[in-house]
A and B are shown apart, each in its own frame.
Chain A
Amino acid sequence: NAGVTQTPKFRVLKTGQSMTLLCAQDMNHEYMYWYRQDPGMGLRLIHYSVGEGTTAKGEVPDGYNVSRLKKQNFLLGLESAAPSQTSVYFCASSYSLWRVEAFFGQGTRLTVV
């Protein structure tokens, strides 16, 4: 059982380049989230989705876009990467209703130079 899988695990971008991070979950979860983790800042929510075809902004959404075309996938896009977006990105998913804890992917370390 794979759980939550993020692709890629590492990436180096040049300023201004674009890229898409893919998150896939095989647990039939309704809810999916993208967080970024920076030293001394904990995890901050970028965007989230409460179901297929829906997305919502989190705490730090600027510079990112997301899409949830399929229930199992949640994509995070950077249209024009900036050095301030150097971070570790985590995807997570959770059930609705009775199961409230989130399951996390292994993270993507992104460096923008």
Chain B
Amino acid sequence: AQTVTQSQPEMSVQEAETVTLSCTYDTSESDYYLFWYKQPPSRQMILVIRQEAYKQQNATENRFSVNFQKAAKSFSLKISDSQLGDAAMYFCAYRREGSGNTPLVFGKGTRLSVIA
């Protein structure tokens, strides 16, 4: 079974600084997708960024970028120019590609605090 590990239960960053959240995963599959979801205090799950395993180029979305290391099974999220609104729980998630659409497998989350 696939597993996703987020080794940092809590992180903090100064406003305008850069922070990196770590995620590792375990799978025997070669085709899959990886995601970072943000959960602010409102509880809403918001997709931040996604990465297809077959793509070598790291995904970017404005201030958010990933460092995808397929061989090491590592998928870290970098947040640049951190803002107060970035404070939230961040979840790393994995989905296998294949026939049928398989469910997301989540890590336990990292709580990010942004210090003004």
Query: Which A residues lie at the B interface, using CB under 8 A?
Result: 30-31, 33, 35, 40-45, 48, 50, 58, 88, 90, 92, 94-97, 100-102, 104, 106-107
Q: Which residue of B lies closest to A90 (CB)?
A: B45
B18-47 CB contacts (< 8 Å) to partner A: 33, 35, 42-45, 47
B108 at the interface (CB under 8 A from A): yes
Kindly name the residue among B103, B104, B107 whose own CB sees the greatest number of chain A CB atoms within 10 A. Answer: B103
A33 and B103 contact, CB distance less than 8 A:
yes
Question: How many pairs of residues, A versus B, come closer than 8 Å at their CB atoms?
Answer: 52
Partner of A100, one of B6, B95, B107: B95
Asked if residues A100 and B106 are in contact (CB atoms below 8 Å), the reply is no
B62 CB within 8 Å of chain A: no
B106 in complex: contacting residue of A42, A94, A95, A101, CB < 8 Å: A42
Contact A104 B103, beta carbon cutoff 8 Å? no
0 or 1 for each of B98-114: is its CB under 8 Å from A? (1 = yes) = 00110111111100000
Q: Is B68 an interface residue (CB 8 A)?
A: no
Chain A residues with CB under 8 Å of B107's CB are 42
Q: In the complex, A106 Cα to B40 Cα: how many Å?
A: 11
Residues from chain A with a CB closer than 8 A to the CB of B33 are: 100-101
Q: Interface size for chain B: under 10, 10 to 19, 20 to 34, or 35 or more residues?
A: 20 to 34
User: Which A-chain residue is minimally distant from B50 (CB atoms)?
Assistant: A101
Interface digits, B55-71 against A, CB 8 Å rule (1 contact, 0 not)? 00000000000000000
Q: Verify A95–B101 contact, CB threshold 8 A.
A: yes
Q: Once the chains are docked, how many angstroms separate the CA of A50 from the CA of B105?
A: 16
* Contact residues in A for B42 (Cβ distance below 8 Å): 106
Chain B residues with CB under 8 Å of A95's CB are 101
Shortest distance from the beta carbon of A47 to any chain B beta carbon, whole Å: 10
Q: Give chain B residues whose Cβ lies under 8 Å from the Cβ of A94.
A: 101
Contact A45 B103 (CB under 8 A): yes
B91-A104 in contact (CB<8A): no
B44 CB, nearest partner CB in chain A, Å: 6
For A94, A101, A107, the residue with the greatest tally of chain B CB atoms inside 10 Å of its CB is A101
